[in-house]
Amino acid sequence: MDVIEVWSGRYACLLQSALRLTNEAFANQLGIAVRTVAAWHADPSVVPRAEMQQLLDAAHERATDTARQRFALLAAKEGGEAPESGAPTAQALRVAISVVLRQGDVLLVCRRDDDASGITWQFPAGVIKPGAKPETATVRETLDETGVHCAVRRNLGSRLHPVTGVLCEYFLCEYLAGEATNSDAVENVDVMWVPRNSVTRFIDADTIFPPILAALEEQT
């Protein structure tokens, strides 16, 4: 298999295995967030958007002949053999959502999207790796994505997101330090602090987890 017409999370992970790279090293090579690589492992059927397809094409083309041969063997085996009975399966994707407060403001990120609108505003979020604590993922992913250090104040609960269907765990966090910067230019357009009473101008109120709205209305 010399050419991949459409990269999926499964093929991206096979390329990572062929290159013998950790999630962090593979993400660094591609110039993307570690949570994106973790998401491919959690949901192998996902199809990355066009920009990511190009990054994976480039990584495949730059690979050594040995790594490319290893990838071809892994891909052929993946396509030709059914998984053994009792073999581990991909775990359900879980995402940690951080609602970071700084006095009267809340931290938002503007993500690139594949739908017609092109971009969407969201709270910072990251994939919870298997075995990891959601609180740890919340703090780590917020820092990786925005450059902001925060601490979890309390758990706001969990739900299946009404739009994505992904299991989300929400945490109210307090700002500690750092300038809000776009540290993930591949996936995000911008990062900014907005007044907490203006959040619904950026995110549809019907899609916001009710405990978040309640927390935003509380006095600091």
211 belongs to a structural domain: yes
Rg (CA), the chain: 19
In terms of domains, do 105 and 71 share one? Answer: no
Three-class DSSP category at 153: strand
67 belongs to a structural domain: yes
In terms of domains, do 71 and 47 share one? Answer: yes
How large is the average pLDDT for residues 62-74? 85
Paired tokens of 21: 């790279």
In terms of domains, do 153 and 186 share one? Answer: yes
pLDDT at 153: 94
Determine the structural domain holding residue 111 and report its residue range.
94-217
Can you give the CATH number for the domain in which 206 is found? Answer: 3.90.79.10
In terms of domains, do 141 and 46 share one? Answer: no
Q: pLDDT tens, 100-127?
A: 999 899 999 988 765 445 568 899 988 8
How far apart CA 164 and CA 170 sit, in angstroms, is: 15
Q: pLDDT tens, 23-34?
A: 889 999 998 988
How far apart CA 201 and CA 72 sit, in angstroms, is: 48
For residues 197 and 170, the answer to whether their CB atoms sit within 8 Å is no
pLDDT at 107: 95
Q: The pTM is what?
A: 0.60
How far apart CA 96 and CA 142 sit, in angstroms, is: 10
Q: Is the pLDDT of residue 197 over 80?
A: yes
Paired tokens of 216: 């935003």
Paired tokens of 146: 């925005």
How far apart CA 24 and CA 27 sit, in angstroms, is: 5
How far apart CA 110 and CA 125 sit, in angstroms, is: 11
How far apart CA 68 and CA 15 sit, in angstroms, is: 8
Number of structural domains (the chain) is 2
Enter the DSSP assignment of 7.
Answer: -
Would the CA dihedral through 57, 58, 61, 67 be positive or negative?
Answer: negative
* H-state helical runs in the chain: 9-19, 23-30, 34-42, 50-62, 65-80, 134-146, 210-217
150 belongs to a structural domain: yes
